Amino acid sequence: MSLLDVVGPVMVGPSSSHTLGALRIARFVYKFVGGMPDRVEFVLHGSFADTGFGHGTDKALLAGIMGMHADDERIRDALRIANEKRLDYSFSVEDLGDVHPNTILVRANKNGKMTEIRGSSVGGGEIEINRINDCECSLSWEFHTLVLVIKDVPGAMGQILGDVRVNISNLYLKRIDALRKIAVGIVETDEEISEDCLREIENSRFVEEMYYIGRDADEI
């Protein structure tokens, strides 16, 4: 048993599941898209839809999508701050199917590019990112995360992995467009990938798009 199990996570808000977990899902999106989006829609499912607003889920989501950390005192004023920043946001309720009851689908538009990320708050502030656009996955954000859109050709992922140069914890690979020969690869690593390695990967002839989300384990 860890200290976290006894005293709980350091956070602002009444609920580790409905507040901290929601904030961390939105903060993952914030880091994935490279900052606060121009427009964002939060689709709430299950328990989030039923009781989330009473537990401050709306404030937590807005705080996370603006890049706030879990212990930021401004979380309580996130609605006002989002309006001051002219963030175009909305909340909706939808049955997302056979997923965890504390699940949120985030649709974020930044610079004209739409990104969809689905995540679940699984307790104690811990989260699972289980879909990034069309790619199913299971990311705890306990690792550094590299998301790649690559050419679906022989040897592509092997060469890219050779440029990572740190220990790989988990790897997901899925073909998303057979006609265009495009795949998505998600690489979780124990250590941070250096900027030099990231540049080499991004400049690879196999890589169409690259996103790097550094570990945020200090959030919990």
Tens digit of each residue's pLDDT (9 = 90 or more) over 74-106: 999 999 999 999 999 999 999 999 999 999 999
Q: Are 94 and 105 in contact (CB under 8 A)?
A: yes
Query: How far apart, in whole angstroms, are the C-alpha atoms of residue 40 and residue 18?
Result: 19
d(CA 25, CA 63): 11
> Would you place residue 52 in the very low, low, confident or very high pLDDT band (cuts 50, 70, 90)?
low
pLDDT at position 220 is 41
Q: Which residue from 90, 94, 114 is spatially nearest to 104, judged by alpha carbons?
A: 94
Q: Which of 71, 103, 67 is nearest to 82 (CA)?
A: 67
Token representation of residue 128: 């699972």
Lowest mean pLDDT among 2-11, 132-141, 193-202: 2-11
| Domains along the sequence of the chain with CATH | 13-142 (3.30.1330.90), 143-214 (3.30.70.260)
Q: Return the residue matching tokens 């699984």.
A: 122
Question: Measured between alpha carbons, how far is 167 from 123 in angstroms, rounded to an integer?
Answer: 28
For residue 11, name the pLDDT band (cuts at 50, 70, 90). very low
